[in-house]
Amino acid sequence: MAESTTIARPYAQAAFKLAQQKQALPAWTEMLGLAAVVAADAGMRKLLDNPRVTPEQVAELFVDICGERLNDDGRNMLRLLAERRRLALLPEIFGLYEQFKNEAEGAITAQLITAFPATDAQKQTIAAALKQRFGRDVQLEYVTDPSLMGGAVVRAGDLVIDGSVRGKLTRLGTALNH
């Protein structure tokens, strides 16, 4: 949803700038990643949507769950997000933070979605091709989606390369209808 990304962007930028200043990019990746997993939990989502639970209670629950893996800045950010009722945006904040971090490090994250598990050789070939296309290091995430029927889809930033059987059938159907 574009609106949640728009709201999450300033928080992700602030976290990234702070992490960069303190030379703690990996630590922030771990903290935000953990907090994003907690926020995405179905039980936590219900709690975040419950108007009877105060922002302070939710913030302390998050801090307790994340425990020692949070530093003072991480705890402060969680409390700020709770106060503004933005904890549900943590997955988006984490995703944007990772984008900013990858850009600063000269890397890009791409997703390889295949109908069947890709072999190591296929993964290396696709990573090399994307590295050549973007001129940056590529961190590939792998997802298996049987609904593709065959082939693969690659997503990297705004670029989507759909070489799946499902995508080809959809394009063929569209062409035949026109």
pLDDT bucket at 1, cuts 50 / 70 / 90: very low
Calculate mean pLDDT across residues 39-59: 90
Q: What is the pLDDT of residue 2?
A: 54
Residue range 60-76, pLDDT digits in tens: 998 999 888 999 999 99
Residue range 116-137, pLDDT digits in tens: 998 899 888 988 888 888 888 8
Q: What is the pLDDT of residue 102?
A: 83
Q: Looking at domain 2-102, does it have CATH number 3.40.50.150?
A: no
**Lateral strand order in the sheet of 137-144:** 137-144, 107-114, 152-156, 159-162
How far apart, in whole angstroms, are the C-alpha atoms of residue 82 and residue 58?
7
Q: State the pTM of this model.
A: 0.67
CB distance 130 to 100 below 8 Å: no
Bridge partners (DSSP) listed for residue 139 = 109
Per-domain boundaries in the chain: 2-102, 107-177
| DSSP 3-state of 35 | helix
Strands 152-156 and 107-114: antiparallel
Q: What is the pLDDT of residue 77?
A: 94
